């Protein structure tokens, strides 16, 4: 009979035995089991996390096969949460996997966040804002990493920190998520100053980007849970890895100055938010 430490003995040396057992006693919520969330779930399972909550309402499609692990051709049409849960249990028999097939909703988000030690945000739509508001209410650590064309961007949302809604507050309408998503995607294009990210009707992503993002998430989640280390720069700062130039940059100073001014001068914050909202509305009309 094998036991937990038989599987994860190669982790020892990077983590101590005591730190590894902290991972065993931890719960991680992964919101979105897609390009980044799927491999993140597999990575965290192979690192020895004791409980994963997988939240996603979608099923696999053929277009997911280029990047969304653990999908295979025979998984097309199956729930992402069910497929991921089976793969995870095959690797880590001591893990507890809970699935939430409604994804993240306003009615379930608080219960999911409250029972989690870390929340991985791997959604690409407006419900990200709903999840962020729950992080703020319950003072939980959130981490996110995502491909941005040929780059990977990563940041974290520590308890008491800043959130997306501090820059772009809007109420997500669960009865009209299409409109809320259009607003959210327009906001991304305005804030990143990258026009036409969705001009093809989708956001271009390759597996190299999603796997790099998932690796960053796995490393930083485990270090936070085992040691309390916050290695990623907190939002609005971020870390950017450019695969074309093979350079990594951390954008911190300007972002911190930016939010520092917000806190000191609330009027400036209101004017900035109104300016962003105006740009988003103009962007939607073009």
∠ CA(143), CA(162), CA(15), 5° rounding? Answer: 30
Share of the chain above pLDDT 70, in %: 94
Report if pTM > 0.85: yes
- Is pLDDT at 136 greater than 90 in this prediction? yes
What does the block give as tokens for 84? 């991921």
- Alpha helices (runs of H) in the chain, residue ranges in sequence order: 4-7, 17-24, 37-47, 80-91, 109-114, 127-138, 164-167, 177-192, 207-227, 253-264, 266-285
Would you say 99 and 87 are in contact if contact means Cβ atoms under 8 Å apart?
Answer: no
- Is pLDDT at 138 greater than 80 in this prediction? yes
Structural domain span for residue 60: 4-165+200-252
Whether the upstream peptide bond of residue 94 has omega within 30° of 0, thus cis, is no
Q: What are phi and psi of 29, to 5 degrees?
A: -95, 125
Highest mean pLDDT among 102-106, 165-169, 239-243: 102-106
- The mean predicted confidence, pLDDT, of the chain is 91
So what's the pLDDT on residue 40? 98
**Residue 99 belongs to some domain of the structure:** yes
CATH of the domain at 125: 3.40.50.720
What does the block give as tokens for 164? 């997306």
**Residue 120 belongs to some domain of the structure:** yes
* Span 4-17, average pLDDT: 97
Distance CA 248, CA 217 (A): 16
**Residue 112 belongs to some domain of the structure:** yes
**Residue 66 belongs to some domain of the structure:** yes
So what's the pLDDT on residue 2? 92
So what's the pLDDT on residue 122? 96
* Span 237-245, average pLDDT: 91
Total Cβ atoms within 10 A of residue 144: 27
**Residue 148 belongs to some domain of the structure:** yes
So what's the pLDDT on residue 146? 94
Convert the pLDDT of each residue in 20-50 to its tens digit: 999 999 999 999 999 999 999 999 999 999 9
Convert the pLDDT of each residue in 166-218 to its tens digit: 877 878 999 898 888 888 888 887 877 777 666 667 788 999 999 999 999 99
Between 16-20, 116-120, 167-171, the lowest mean confidence (pLDDT) is in 167-171
Q: Identify the band that residue 105 occupies on the pLDDT scale cut at 50, 70 and 90.
A: very high
Convert the pLDDT of each residue in 247-283 to its tens digit: 988 877 666 776 777 777 777 777 877 887 888 888 7
**Residue 271 belongs to some domain of the structure:** no
**Residue 136 belongs to some domain of the structure:** yes
Domain count, the chain: 1
Distance CA 232, CA 215 (A): 13
* Span 107-128, average pLDDT: 96
- Is pLDDT at 285 greater than 80 in this prediction? no
**Residue 157 belongs to some domain of the structure:** yes
So what's the pLDDT on residue 191? 76
| CB burial string 155-185: b at 16+ within 10 A, e below | bbbbeebbbbbbbbeeebeeeeeeebebbbb
So what's the pLDDT on residue 274? 82
- Is pLDDT at 155 greater than 80 in this prediction? yes
């Amino acid at each position: 009979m094998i036991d937990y430490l038989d599987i994860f003995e190669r982790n020892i040396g990077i983590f101590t035995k005591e730190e590894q057992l902290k991972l065993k006693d931890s719960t991680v919520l992964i919101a979105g089991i897609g390009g980044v969330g799927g491999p993140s779930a597999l990575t965290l399972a192979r690192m020895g996390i004791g409980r994963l909550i997988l939240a996603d309402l979608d099923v696999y499609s053929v277009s997911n096969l280029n990047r969304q692990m653990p999908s295979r051709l025979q998984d097309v049409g199956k729930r992402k949460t069910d497929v991921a849960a089976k793969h995870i249990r095959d690797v880590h028999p001591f893990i507890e996997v809970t699935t939430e097939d409604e994804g993240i909703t306003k009615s379930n988000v608080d219960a999911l966040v409250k029972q989690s030690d870390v929340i991985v945000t791997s959604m690409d739509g407006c419900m990200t804002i709903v999840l962020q508001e729950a992080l703020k209410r319950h003072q939980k650590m959130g981490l996110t990493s995502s491909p941005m064309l040929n780059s990977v961007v990563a940041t974290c949302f520590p308890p008491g920190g800043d959130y997306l809604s501090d820059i772009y507050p809007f109420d997500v309408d669960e009865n009209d998520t299409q409109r809320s998503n259009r607003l959210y995607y327009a906001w991304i294009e305005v804030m990143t100053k990258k026009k036409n990210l969705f001009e093809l009707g989708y956001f271009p992503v390759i597996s190299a980007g999603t796997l790099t993002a998932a690796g960053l998430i796995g490393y930083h989640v485990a270090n936070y849970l085992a040691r309390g280390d916050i290695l990623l720069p907190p939002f609005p700062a971020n870390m950017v890895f450019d695969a074309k130039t093979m350079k990594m940059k951390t954008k911190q100073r300007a972002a911190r100055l930016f939010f520092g001014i917000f806190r000191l001068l609330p009027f400036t914050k209101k004017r900035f938010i109104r300016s962003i909202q105006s740009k988003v509305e103009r962007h939607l009309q073009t």
